[in-house]
Amino acid sequence: MSSPKIPTAPLGEHGPEAGVQGLGCMGMSFAYGPTDADASRATLERALELGVTLYDTADAYGAGENERFLSPFFRAHRDEILVATKFALAIPPDDPTRRIIRNDAPYIRQAVEASLRRLDVDVIDLYYMHRRDPDVPIEETVGVMAELVREGKVKQLGLSEVTAPELRAAHAVHPIAAVQSEWSLFSRDIEAHVVPAARELGVTLVPYSPLGRGFLTGSFASAEALTADDFRRQQPRFTGENAAANAALLEPVRTVAEAHGATSGQIALAWVHAQAEVHALPVLPIPGTRRPGRVEENTGAVAIELTEEQLSALEPIAAKVSGNRYADMAFTSAGRE
Ligand SMILES: NC(=O)c1ccc[n+]([C@@H]2O[C@H](COP(=O)([O-])OP(=O)(O)OC[C@H]3O[C@@H](n4cnc5c(N)ncnc54)[C@H](OP(=O)(O)O)[C@@H]3O)[C@@H](O)[C@H]2O)c1
């Protein structure tokens, strides 16, 4: 089926152009309940037809399973797509259920080889540090990542959940193409420092969880309705009284959606896309879905232009959200600011 393709945005100051919306692939193996491999494969193919070229994974998603699952798709379309993966959430030898943050050179060297093997590609287009270990100087970590670029294992570097000073220090060692952080109508803390630093340095912003992990689509009923292995059962915004309070915040999103004949999810994504103009930098969100129909819906948001009045109606939502975006905020840049 031929489809009109979404427009593109630059991935880093000197980087390639990528479809202005990427695809988050985490849920295809991990975090959000039962998966359907056939539907996920169909989602990947449909995304590509629609002009989505940046595909986001990490070694931590299902302990390598997500990278393995994606490898046939990546191999089949190697020249048409950009592969983004991440290191830093390591499995300690004594407890496979836990994750520890590692930013040290021996770990990075081992992680990149393992990702290249699982992905079955010669080079990773965008390699992110997934989380920051404050005990390792960021200059040291990025120094090792820069060696991977020189060795041809990695094309561009990214950092996830870094503070503005961490981003500046890293960028002084080697150009950083992208910062990946949570950014949505529900999560706007990065606008204070990280976004201005990214604009100044020519770094592309890659918002993750732009649908608020699904909450902003209006389809979340209650934490009890989620399966036992669903990560959101541990997320403060999805549980107890917070869930009901946050659901009540979606009214203006629904009103704007009605005005556009769109869904709430599309308005949430259109808001994220609109931040490119508001903050004058490339913004390339990576909503996650495992369903082809939803990738059509989500890419459809790219064409929605919100008016000033509509942006104003959506403006107060984030400040009213109940519950932090992670149970442990040390896991975020805001927790270190
Ligand atoms: N750097 C980091 O630390 C970090 C953290 C979290 C995520 N990420 C990356 O960011 C990507 C996106 O974030 P996310 O998956 O956490 O959250 P998200 O994109 O905000 O939301 C994903 C959730 O929304 C549902 N959904 C998607 N489109 C929908 C639609 N049109 N209508 C109704 N529901 C819809 C998905 O369910 P279905 O799959 O069933 O459609 C899934 O449950 C991940 O896949 C991952 O690659 C990175």
Cross-strand partners of 100: 90
**Ligand 1, closest atom to CA 210?**
20
- Contact assessment for residue 154 and residue 148, using Cβ atoms and an 8 Å cutoff: yes
Domains of the chain: 8-213+272-303 (3.20.20.100)
Give 211 Cα–ligand 1 centroid separation in angstroms. 7
Q: Indicate if the pLDDT at residue 266 is higher than 90.
A: yes
Active site residue 127: no
Query: Quick one: which of 229, 214, 203 has its CA closest to 297?
Result: 214
The CA-based angle 232-236-240, given to 5 degrees, is 95
Question: CA-to-CA distance for 209 and 161, rounded, in angstroms?
Answer: 13
State residue 276's pLDDT score. Answer: 98
Query: Quick one: which of 113, 124, 120, 59 has its CA closest to 88?
Result: 59
State residue 269's pLDDT score. Answer: 98
Q: What is the pLDDT of residues 194-212, one digit of tens each?
A: 999 999 999 999 999 999 9
Both tokens assigned to 263: 């869904």
- Contact assessment for residue 208 and residue 182, using Cβ atoms and an 8 Å cutoff: yes
Give 111 Cα–ligand 1 centroid separation in angstroms. 24
Ligand 1 pocket, mutate which of 32, 38, 54, 233 (most atoms under 8 A from CB): 32
Give 254 Cα–ligand 1 centroid separation in angstroms. 19
Question: CA-to-CA distance for 140 and 159, rounded, in angstroms?
Answer: 14
Categorize the per-residue pLDDT at 103 as very low, low, confident or very high, splitting at 50, 70 and 90. very high
State residue 96's pLDDT score. Answer: 80
Q: Whats the size of the chain, residue-wise?
A: 337
Categorize the per-residue pLDDT at 259 as very low, low, confident or very high, splitting at 50, 70 and 90. very high
Q: Is the dihedral of CA 329, 331, 334, 337 positive or negative?
A: positive
State residue 309's pLDDT score. Answer: 98
The CA-based angle 238-331-227, given to 5 degrees, is 35
Question: CA-to-CA distance for 74 and 115, rounded, in angstroms?
Answer: 13
